[in-house]
Amino acid sequence: MADDGIADTPTALGSRLRAAREQRGATLTGVGCATGISLSTLSRIETGRRKPTLEVLLRLAKEYDVSLDELAGTAPAAAAGPRPPVPQRSGNDKAVLPLTRYVGGLHAHKHVLPAIDAPPARPRQVSHDGYEWLCVLYGRLWLALGDQDLVLTAGEVAEFDTRTAHGVANAGPDGPVEYLIMFGPQGERLRLRTPPAPGRGAGRP
């Protein structure tokens, strides 16, 4: 029998579900509360250790505002034309604006943390598979990365393996914080391309 990729479907589907959830800035706990699906079930589905039923898939597709074809990876490349991104709100009033529609592979979104009136607590940390590139556009962002505490300002960039515990918060009372995230759910990274050094031809090693 030819290999049609069906055996890899649970793992690939889990990665797409995790990417769709994170693209909306949602947590497993939040999705569980919204859909009635248990936290353990959601976790096992995202890691490919459990096959979701059709009912579960329909609930998640509705929650993430994606089609079943998108989750299965069978959506046509030019399906129905692009829809304008809609900012999503998480439980801490963070706004998340998806910048890419595709829910698999490398994707981008913009986050806005509201202004604060009091010094923040250390950010709650999470860890998961993937790789993240973060760039601050405005304000001061507190990045708690493992045991390190970094304060990033406009124009500063951080990149890290998301298996390292990490969390972010507004670092000060100066106003909101805006930042961009590029995330590879399966460890995809940005590839830096630069022009050849002066004096070297483009075709030379």
Per-residue pLDDT tens over the stretch 5-52: 444 456 678 888 888 887 777 788 888 888 889 988 998 888 888 888
Residue 156: predicted pLDDT? 96
Residue 75: predicted pLDDT? 57
Helix (H) or strand (E) holding 161: strand 157-161
Mean pLDDT of 124-150: 92
Residue 136 CA to residue 146 CA, distance in Å, equals 19
Q: Which two tokens stand for residue 143?
A: 């990045």
Mean pLDDT of 142-152: 96
Whole-number percent of the chain with pLDDT over 70: 78
Residue 37 CA to residue 133 CA, distance in Å, equals 30
| pTM (predicted TM-score) | 0.57
* Residue 77's pLDDT band (cuts 50, 70, 90): very low
Find out whether 60 and 53 touch, Cβ atoms under 8 Å. Answer: no
- For residue 104, is pLDDT > 70? no
Measuring CA to CA, which residue among 112, 160, 152, 116 is closest to residue 135? 152
Residue 173: predicted pLDDT? 79
- For residue 141, is pLDDT > 90? yes
- For residue 57, is pLDDT > 80? yes
- Least trusted range by pLDDT, from 135-144, 159-168, 181-190: 181-190
Helix (H) or strand (E) holding 148: strand 148-153
Mean pLDDT of 151-165: 94
- For residue 164, is pLDDT > 90? yes
- Least trusted range by pLDDT, from 58-67, 87-96, 107-116: 87-96
Residue 41 CA to residue 46 CA, distance in Å, equals 9
Across the chain, mean pLDDT equals 79
Residue 90: predicted pLDDT? 47
Whole-number percent of the chain with pLDDT over 90: 24
Kindly report the number of other CB atoms within 10 A of residue 27's CB atom: 16
Mean pLDDT of 133-140: 94
Residue 20 CA to residue 95 CA, distance in Å, equals 16
Measuring CA to CA, which residue among 123, 69, 71 is closest to residue 94? 123
Residue 143 CA to residue 61 CA, distance in Å, equals 31
Kindly report the number of other CB atoms within 10 A of residue 52's CB atom: 21
Helices within the chain (DSSP H only): 9-23, 28-35, 39-46, 54-64, 68-72
- For residue 153, is pLDDT > 50? yes
Q: Which two tokens stand for residue 103?
A: 């829910």
